[in-house]
Amino acid sequence: MTAIHLHNTLTNRLQPLDPVHKGEVRMYTCGPTVYDFAHIGNFRTFVFQDVLRRFLQSRKYRVLQVMNLTDVDDRIIQKAAAAGVSIREYTEKYVQAFLQDMDALHLEVPEELVRATDHIDDMVALIERLQKKGLTYSSEGSIYYSIAKFPHYGRLSKIDLAGMKTGLRVDVDQYEKENARDFALWKAPKPGEHFWETRIGPGRPGWHIECSAMAMKYLGDTLDIHTGGVDLAFPHHENEIAQSEAATGHPFVRLWLHAEHLIIDGEKMSKSLGNFFTLRDLFAKGHKPSTIRFLLLSVPYRRQLNFTSDSLKQAESSVARLRNFVSRLKVEQFPAGSSAEILKRAEKAETDFDAGLAGDLNTAMALAAVFDLVRDINTAMDRGEFLQQDAPRVVATMEKVDAILAVLVDDDDDKLAKLGFGQSQERMPAERIETLIEERNAAKKRRDFKRSDDIRQQLADSGIIVEDTKDGSVRWKYK
RNA sequence: GGCGCGGUACCCAAGUGGUAAGGGAGAGGUCUGCAAAACCUUCAUACGCGAGUUCGAUUCUCGCCCGCGCCUCCA
């Protein structure tokens, strides 16, 4: 098996995965700030993280993934106050929405999905450790981290501090800081704002401390992998390193992985440009969860993904090709027997798929391996060279790759229905469909094509596509 | 300005120091009562531009141009 290599932002090169604990990968993946519905760009990163964990599992690693839910920050405090509800009450809605969205996209639930506000004590303890080491200072009730005291500051994002002057007052945060880049570990409460009464005083946590505290609580001082979107590399992840390593004296993370952004029609997604989409916006427009998942994972994570209506169409067609293939394998009847060649071919597909992912999660390469197999087997079937006993083997290959891709099972309607995007009409039950197909078969037999086509049309009107195959069997699928 | 990612066919997108994977769309064909699916053929003398290294570069080096992002709590 090809050794797994991943691009480490810290060193800017491909490095082998080398877990601290044998057979187990511990990773921290930056999750959403739950002040609103997550948008499609967020999910680009989350799908990447999901593909990563699924791939590691396919390599038989135990995966211990921690994902944070940032449920306290300026926006949340403001919005909750404006709505006249508690922070918890305000964020709960979006936490639930996030879980539903995850489910719709087949994102596996991390082993630990943790809320910042449940870990205030852990953050306070970590801040105290930093205080004891003399790395912090207080100003107007807030506590800051003095980056001048952390020699490696800037290593991840390659930010050069040499040109920066200390003592300059830069009023970016309406707080007093010694250095513009110093960041708040703990923020003094503002009048009327929600705050926590703690050993280090009243207030609320700064943004970065939650990730350091929760990551180390669940994963230990040194994590194997930490991921997030590229925008988080600075300052968020840089600050996490400073906090964590200064506190423990150990390297915080072995591999830093950053997903490039998704852009829309070549432009940054933003509310002001009017090209801002949540998952639900896309569902409402009739796009399927599987289409979106496929599109998000089809472009390797370190490459910007240009999200367009055309790319959505292409993704939908690609998924259909894969699903048609599996359906054909399951329904069509082939000559009895089995062939060593086909078995080898299936094995090769699995190997190539795996090798593609092993090379920094090159999903484009991995998908090519799958499509190569699809074409070759389809060709064999058309030529009558494909044998019945091989069908389950090839299906198994497809199931294996789908353990990572997670787009083959056609549950789009179910997922949409769960979110309230179901079609207006009830789905025709499978039994009824089978009955109609039998009727149609009978009609075909007596060459009553008028009747036969009427039934096909009737089914089509109910959103069911009927396909005749060479061997006389009929397969159907929901549109 | 600093840091980072990228510029490959109509679109999306791999890749290698020795002559361009895969998907989508298009065109033609096969199969078929019809339809769909599928298959076959076709679709980049060419990989942003210029120079260099080399027997040979899309792949290495240098310079330039262009796009996008980060450098102000945005994945």
**Average pLDDT over all residues of chain A:** 90
Given a contact cutoff of 8 angstroms between Cβ atoms, the answer to whether A248 and A236 are in contact is: no
pLDDT score of A162 more than 70? no
> Stated in angstroms, how far is A71 CA from B74 C1'?
16
Query: Does one domain contain both A392 and A448?
Result: no
ipTM: 0.94
Q: How many residues does chain A have?
A: 479
Lowest mean pLDDT among A187-191, A246-250, A402-406: A187-191
> Considering only CA atoms, which residue is closest to the C1' of nucleotide B30?
A382
A69 shares its domain with A210: yes
DSSP state of A222: S
Among A109-113, A233-237, A379-383, A438-442, where is mean pLDDT lowest? A438-442
Same domain? A368 vs A400: yes
Residues A365 and A237 in one domain: no
Please indicate, yes or no, whether residues A366 and A222 belong to a single structural domain of this protein: no
Positions of chain B reached by protein Cβ under 7 A: 2-6, 11-15, 21-25, 31-40, 67-75
In this structure, the answer to whether residues A219 and A305 fall within a common structural domain is no
Q: Report whether pLDDT(A274) > 50.
A: yes
Give a yes or no: residue A423 inside a domain. Answer: no
* Average pLDDT over every residue of A40-61: 96
pLDDT of A424: 53
Residues A413, A467, single domain; the answer is no
In a domain, A62, yes or no: yes
- Would you call the peptide bond into A205 cis, given omega within 30 degrees of 0 as the criterion? no
Residue A147 reports pLDDT greater than 60: yes
Residue nearest the C1' of B15 (CA based): A365
Task: Specify the higher pLDDT residue, A311 or A271.
Answer: A311
* More confident call, A376 vs A194: A376
Contact A209, A126 (CB under 8 A): yes
R_g over Cα of chain A: 27
Q: What is the pLDDT of residues A7-39, one digit of tens each?
A: 999 988 889 999 999 999 999 999 999 999 999
pLDDT above 80 for A369: yes
A425 in a structural domain: no
Q: Examine the domain organization and report whether A180 and A46 are in the same domain.
A: yes
Protein-to-nucleotide distance from the CA of A260 to the C1' of B68, whole angstroms: 10
**Concatenated DSSP letters for A355-421?**
HHHHBT--HHHHHHHHHHHHHHHHHHHHTT---GGGHHHHHHHHHHHHHHH--SS--HHHHHHHTT-
Residues 6+ apart with CB under 8 A from A213: A119, A122, A123, A125, A126
Whether the pLDDT of residue A121 is over 70: the answer is yes
Instruction: Name the closest nucleotide to A173, judged by C1' and CA.
Output: B72
Q: Is the per-residue pLDDT at A161 higher than 90?
A: no
Confidence of residue A470 (pLDDT cuts 50, 70, 90): confident
A386 is in which domain, residue-wise? 268-418
Q: Is the pLDDT of residue A300 over 80?
A: yes
Report whether pLDDT(A471) > 80: no
In total, how many domains does chain A have?
3
pLDDT above 70 for A169: no
Above 60 in pLDDT, residue A175?
no
Confidence class for position A176, pLDDT limits 50, 70, 90: low
In the block, residue with structure tokens 């669940």: A218
Which residue is nearest to the C1' sugar atom of B12, using CA? A311
The residue lying closest to nucleotide B25, measuring its CA against C1', is A314
**Pair (A275, A249) in one structural domain:** no
Query: pLDDT-based confidence at A164, cuts 50/70/90?
Result: very low
Cβ(A271)–Cβ(A190) under 8 Å? no
What's phi and psi for A256, nearest 5 deg? Answer: -100, 120
Q: How far is the CA of A302 from the C1' of B5 (A)?
A: 7
Largest Cα span, chain A: 93
Residues A79 and A186 reside in one and the same domain: yes
Select from A418, A445, A463 the last residue of a domain.
A418
Supply the pLDDT for residue A365: 95
* Distance from residue A375's CA to nucleotide B26's C1', rounded to whole Å: 20
**What pLDDT is recorded for position A423?**
64
Query: Same domain, yes or no, for A15 and A135?
Result: yes
By percentage, how much of chain A surpasses pLDDT 90?
Answer: 70
- Tell me the backbone φ, ψ of residue A350, rounded to 5 degrees: -65, -40
Using the structure, give the distance in angstroms from the CA atom of A326 to the C1' atom of B75, rounded to a whole number. 34
Interatomic distance A42 CA / B74 C1' (Å): 10
Same domain for A284 and A377, yes or no, is yes
What is the distance between the alpha carbons of residues A42 and A283, in angstroms, rounded to a whole number?
16
Query: Which residues lie below 8 Å from residue A260, measured CB to CB, with a gap of 6+?
Result: A230, A301, A302, A303, A304, A305
Residues 6+ apart with CB under 8 A from A11: none
**Tens digits of per-residue pLDDT, A395-440?**
999 999 999 999 999 999 999 999 998 765 567 888 888 888 888 8
Please give the structure tokens belonging to residue A424.
């207006």
Task: Say which CATH number the domain at A10 has.
Answer: 3.40.50.620
The 10s digit of each residue's pLDDT in A312-363 is 999 999 999 999 999 999 999 999 999 999 999 999 999 999 999 999 999 9
Provide the CA A358 to C1' B19 distance, Å, integer: 28
Q: What is the pLDDT, as a whole number, of residue A201? A: 95
- Looking across all nucleic acid strands, the nucleotide with the smallest C1' to CA distance from residue A383 is B39
The alpha carbon of A260 is separated from its chain's Cα centroid by a whole number of angstroms, namely 13
Q: Within a domain: residue A334?
A: yes
